[in-house]
Amino acid sequence: MTFVLVSGGAGYIGSHACKALRAAGFTPVTFDNLVTGWQDAVKFGPFERGDLMDRARLDAVFEQYEPVAVMHFAALSQVGESMAEPGRYWSNNVAGSLNLIEAAVAAGCLRFVFSSTCATYGDQDNVVLDEDSAQHPINAYGASKRAIEDILANFDAAHNLQNVIFRYFNVAGADPEAEVGEFHQPETHLVPLMLDAIDGKRDALTVFGTDYDTPDGTCIRDYVHVCDLVDAHVLGLKWLLDGKQSRVFNLGTGTGFSVLEVIEHSSAVTNRPVPHNIGERRPGDCTKLVSGSVRAKKELGWSPRRSDLKTMISDAWRWHQTGHYDT
């Protein structure tokens, strides 16, 4: 078996990555502490419970499986929380990642696929964001991911740790077969919050700010279907297995949708109104984040197939109605 160690493999994106890895002929080994992940989501390979701060546990897992690569998703990822509790983000995301990177190098596992974020760019409105855009994160979440990118560059130079970094924009949707899906507690992502409101599971969605400098006053984001996203990660893994050099790729469609546009599409897909209230802006939220890069398409051959709003919301709605994890 060809093992790939997937940190955060019990989470939303990580669990979908495990399914894609298995479909591509790999055996994903999920390493997760289940703080934000779900054991029920681990369906496609072995599960090893552990914390990234536990170096001995990491060493034991590397020794047992001898993975050909690491795919690193595990992270705290709430922007608002990162503004209020930056220490947790520097400790968990940066120190935890450094521990994982050092363990990988010590084990001779020198291929590393890293889940980064467009939040490393900060608030650069009306700028076409590509991989060479300046990185000026405005919150501790983006800053922590930027720091990990720097660590990877240092370890590439010192130890030949070949890495592919994916900076991605908003992720939505779910496995169309509804084996895995999006399930956070508490939920903070727009599409599942909206579906909860439609379904009567919460009173109403809160739209955080309608006074942004956009056509309808609400934030604009570039949405990518989670299945398209993880397909890119598998392509990134194959890039490294082919002996290619470290590379950064933005993952976005180049098309932005406002919060109110997402609400309209959700209403159309579900044929139900979306109850929503207007709230104040959240600290750390950018006005517009849209990818302008075609590097992943040109160099990896990545072709997003499910990243239109209708498909993303339809897949999320199917999961919302049929899937869940036991808490």
- 3-171+223-251: CATH topology is Rossmann fold (3.40.50)
Distance, CA of 237 to CA of 319 (rounded, Å): 27
pLDDT value of position 228: 97
Q: With 0-12 CB in 10 A as exposed, 13-18 as middle and 19+ as buried, what is 237? A: buried
Neighbours of 87 (CB within 10 A): 9
Distance, CA of 189 to CA of 183 (rounded, Å): 10
Give the residue with greater pLDDT, 269 vs 17: 17
Check the CA dihedral 99-161-168-6 and report its sign: negative
pLDDT value of position 323: 66
Supply 26's token pair.
Answer: 């790999």
**229 neighbors 296 (Cβ within 8 angstroms):** no
The helix (run of H) or strand (run of E) holding residue 59 is helix 55-65
Whether omega for the bond prior to residue 192 falls within 30 degrees of 0, making it cis, is: no
The mean pLDDT value for 101-129 works out to 90
What ranges do the domains of the chain cover? 3-171+223-251, 190-221+254-322
pLDDT value of position 278: 93
Strand segments, DSSP code E, in 66-141 are 69-72, 111-117
Q: What global pTM score does this model have? A: 0.91
Catalytic residue at 141?
yes
Q: With 0-12 CB in 10 A as exposed, 13-18 as middle and 19+ as buried, what is 188? A: middle
Q: Of the listed 12, 65, 89, 141, which one is catalytic? A: 141
Distance, CA of 112 to CA of 105 (rounded, Å): 10
Give the residue with greater pLDDT, 198 vs 296: 296
**Average pLDDT value over all residues in the chain:** 90
Question: CATH classification of 190-221+254-322, choosing from 3.40.50.10090, 3.40.50.920, 3.90.25.10, 1.10.10.10?
Answer: 3.90.25.10
* CATH fold match for the domains 3-171+223-251 and 190-221+254-322: no
Rg (alpha carbons) of the chain, rounded to whole number: 19
Q: Are strands 111-117 and 162-168 parallel, antiparallel or unpaired?
A: parallel
- What is the secondary structure of 177-210 as a DSSP string? T-SS----SS---HHHHHHHHHTTSSS-EEEE-S
pLDDT value of position 201: 83
Task: Give the tens place of pLDDT for each residue, 27-60.
Answer: 999 999 998 888 999 999 999 999 999 999 999 9
Distance, CA of 297 to CA of 247 (rounded, Å): 13
Is residue 189 scored above 80 in pLDDT? no
